[in-house]
Structure 1
Amino acid sequence: MENNLWIVGLVFIVLGLIIGVGKQTWLLAGFNEKRVKNKTLLANLVGGYITVIGILFFISSFYTFLSEQILVGALVIGLFILIIFTNIKLVDKE
């Protein structure tokens, strides 16, 4: 069992739930409340994604079905896609 992997997974799960369920978007770096059209959708998307990645990290610490490199790659690529989607669909251009 990878001790660091399940700790990272738990941290991601907690952060994802705080952002997604609690709508605490102030935790998002670079978040400007005045420019985002739909804060609830942003919180649900980012919080849900971080929670799912956290669950995958946590499970893979006990059962090695995905390597750490694949998980970190999925995290980075997914967050990059979320940034692009958010800037195109949810941010006012003004």
Structure 2
Amino acid sequence: MDYGLLVIGLALVLVSYLVGIKKQTWLLAGFNEKMIKNKSLLGTVTGLFFFLPLGLIVIINSLIDYHYEGTILVVVMLTLLTGVYVFINRRLMD
């Protein structure tokens, strides 16, 4: 059991709750607020479709030890990030 990954996973689930449910979009860095059409949808998409799955996967990886653990985690993270990035740029940007 990797306690460092467990803490990171719990932090990601907390950020998911704050961004996805409470709509605290100020936690998201690197976007121009004036170009986003719907900040509520931005919070939902990033919180529930990026941070939550990533946090749960990190928690599962902290509990289970298997071969190529790091590689699979990076591939899943980049896949989630790419999907959310494409959705935000196509649907939420002016």
Q: TM-score higher than 0.5 here?
A: yes
The percent identity for this pair of structures is 37
Q: Which runs of 5+ in 1 are unaligned?
A: none
Deviations 1:16-72 (A, max 9, x none): 111101101111122222111111111111001201210111122112368232122
Distance 2:42 2:33 in 1: 11
Q: What is the match of residue 44 of structure 1?
A: 44
Q: What is the match of residue 62 of structure 1?
A: 63
More deviation, 16-25/78-87: 78-87
1:82 and 2:84 matched = yes
Distance 1:80 1:4 in 2: 25
Distance 1:72 1:12 in 2: 15
* Matched AA of 2:12: F
1:4 and 2:4 matched = yes
Runs of 4+ with deviation above 3 angstroms: none
Distance 2:33 2:16 in 1: 19
Distance 1:2 1:11 in 2: 15
Q: Which runs of 5+ in 2 are unaligned?
A: none
Task: Report the TM-score, using the length of structure 1 for normalisation.
Answer: 0.85
Between Structure 1 and Structure 2, the one with more helix by share is: 2
Tell me the C-alpha RMSD between the 2 structures: 1.6
* Matched AA of 2:58: F
